[in-house]
Amino acid sequence: MKNKVVVANEKQISKRITRNKLAKGLFLAATLFGMIVLATLIVRIVTQGIGYLDFGFLTSYASRRPEDAGIKAAILGTVWIMSITIPVSLILGVGTSIYLEEYAPKNKFTRFIELNLANLAGVPSVVFGLLGLTVFVRLLEMGRSILAGGLTMSLLILPVIVVASKEAIRSIPQEQYEAAYAMGATKWQIIRTVVLPAATPGILTGAILSLSRGVGETASLLMIGAMTFIAYTPTGVLDGFTVLPIQIFSWASRPQVEFQAVAAAGSIVLLIILIVMNSLAIVIRNKYSKRY
């Protein structure tokens, strides 16, 4: 009887080991496939665009001649858009998360809001572009301006910042609150001196990752009428603009082979910016996050 039980257990363990090896091989194959595709894409972009990447490319405006084309206007337009997007999205996003976690009553309406915020984080960017076109460009008569683009981009990344900030605040142990209340602190004092310092690494990580998504965004800004060709530097928030992804899209859509290489050079610059932003998020998370 014991031998039969032992044999049955051995067979069961053997099946589990086999399934584990199959799952491990499947996951490894999926990882390798993604890495190979990414490496192929990077190698192709670098080999195709490295010849056009120089200081003149960074300081020149767009041109109809590929040898004279540059991304100065696109870089400055991206900076202008982010200068509006960052403060608006951070202030509204962090404020919303603080209210939902610290002040809002835990009822069905609050859960309904949280559910919709989570759903909005996965909505396609073109939907936010249509919303920005309707509200900011036409209803508020901002026109196809930097201000309308920055506010539209804020709507796009706001749900992601809210969700990330809520999770960062929620991860703070209850003992921290109880200790602060025992010291006689008020609700706002606890938020200012306990909650925000402890949640800042998580908030910043989520904010930087969402902003890196915004930097590479095209569809929402195309919907509100961002220009594909601009040969001047914006001087105010009501000026027209273009951004790096739209400029790259404009070059890539042209039939000349030379413009394909120029688009690859612009993609290299965009990749460098995204890698720097994501690396900064990783550094902040690893250096400043606390383990409770």
Per-residue pLDDT of the chain (292 residues; tens, 9 = 90+): 556 656 667 777 888 888 888 988 999 999 999 999 989 988 888 888 888 888 888 888 888 888 888 888 888 888 899 899 989 999 999 999 999 888 888 888 888 888 888 888 788 888 888 888 888 988 888 888 889 889 999 988 998 899 889 988 888 888 888 888 888 888 888 888 888 888 888 888 888 888 888 888 888 888 887 777 777 788 888 888 888 888 888 888 888 888 888 888 888 888 888 888 888 878 877 776 655 5
Q: Which two tokens stand for residue 131?
A: 């919303």
CATH number at residue 205: 1.10.3720.10
Identity of residue 243: V
Which domain range does residue 182 map to?
Answer: 57-288
pLDDT at residue number 4: 62
Does residue 115 sit in the same domain as residue 42?
A: no
pLDDT at residue number 29: 93
Does residue 24 sit in the same domain as residue 157?
A: no
Distances (CA, A) of 123 to 155, 207, 212, 226, 282: 11, 18, 17, 21, 25
pLDDT at residue number 30: 92
Does residue 46 sit in the same domain as residue 95?
A: no
Q: Which two tokens stand for residue 218?
A: 């095209």
Q: How many domains would you assign to the chain?
A: 2
- pTM (two decimals): 0.82
Residues in the chain: 292
- The per-residue b/e assignment along 7-28, b for 16 or more CB within 10 angstroms, e otherwise, is eeeeeeeeeeeeeeeeeeeeee
pLDDT at residue number 55: 84
Does residue 124 sit in the same domain as residue 45?
A: no
Does residue 68 sit in the same domain as residue 35?
A: no
pLDDT at residue number 92: 92
Contact between 223 and 133 (Cβ < 8 Å): yes
pLDDT at residue number 6: 62
Does residue 69 sit in the same domain as residue 135?
A: yes
